[in-house]
Amino acid sequence: MSLEFILLALIIATNGAPILVTRLFGSCCDDPLDGNRRFIDGKSLLGKSKTIRGIAAAILTAIIFALLLGLGWKTGLIIGAFAMLGDLFSSFIKRRLGMPPSSMAFGLDQIPESLFPLIAVSAQFQLGWRRIAILVLFFIIIELLLSRILYWLKIRKRPY
C-alpha cells in the first residue's frame, strides 16, 4: 500500500467516526463541545453538532487505524487531533457566515479537515505542497462520494 493511500484512509476513517458514532448512539452523550456558548457576534461558537463524543471517537479511531496501518499511535493522535481541529475551524467559520450546523459548504467542509493533518505530518513523511494538494483533492472527491453512499444507507441525514 502506498503512503498516500494509507494517509487518505486514515483521514477518511477519522472524519467518518463522528457520523458513525452518532448513528450508533443517537443523542446519548452528545454534549456540545462549545457548551452552547456564543461568540462575540452573538452566534453559536461551533454549533450543536460538534460534540465531545464525536471528537473523542475521531481521535480514538485515528489512533486505532494508525496502529493497524503500521504508523504508530502518535501519528494517529496527531492526524486525529488536527483533522478535528480542521473540522472545528470549518464549523467556527460556518457559524460566522450564518450557516446552520451540518449544512454543506463545498471546500470549507473538506479542505481544513484534510489539509491540517497533512501539514502536521508533512515533515514526518516528507510531504511537499504538491503531494499535499493532490491528497486534499482526492479527499474532497472521496468525501463527496462517501457522503452520497452514507446518505443512501441512511447513515447521514443529508448528502453533500
Q: Would you say 89 and 46 are in contact if contact means Cβ atoms under 8 Å apart? A: no
CB atoms within 10 A of CB 112: 22
Is 13 domain-assigned?
yes
Q: Would you say 90 and 109 are in contact if contact means Cβ atoms under 8 Å apart? A: yes
CA dist 147 and 141 (Å) reads: 10
Tally: H helices and E strands in the chain: 5, 0
Q: How far is CA 144 from CA 33, 66, 109, in A?
A: 25, 23, 10
Q: Could you read off the pLDDT of 9-56 as tens digits, one per residue? A: 999 999 999 988 988 888 787 889 899 999 999 999 998 889 999 999
Is 61 domain-assigned?
yes
CA dist 21 and 15 (Å) reads: 11
Q: Could you read off the pLDDT of 43-92 as tens digits, one per residue? A: 999 988 899 999 999 999 999 999 999 999 999 999 999 999 999 999 99
What values do phi and psi take at 51, rounded to 5?
-115, 160
The pLDDT value recorded for residue 30 is: 83
Is 159 domain-assigned?
no
Is 118 domain-assigned?
yes
* Structural domain count of the chain: 1
Rounded to an integer, the average pLDDT of 105-117 is 93
Is 158 domain-assigned?
no
Question: pTM here?
Answer: 0.90
The pLDDT value recorded for residue 12 is: 95
The pLDDT value recorded for residue 78 is: 98
| Domain encompassing residue 140 | 3-152
CA dist 97 and 105 (Å) reads: 10
Is 160 domain-assigned?
no
The pLDDT value recorded for residue 1 is: 74
Cα Rg of the chain (Å, integer): 15
The pLDDT value recorded for residue 154 is: 79
Grid coordinates representing 154? 441512511
Is 132 domain-assigned?
yes
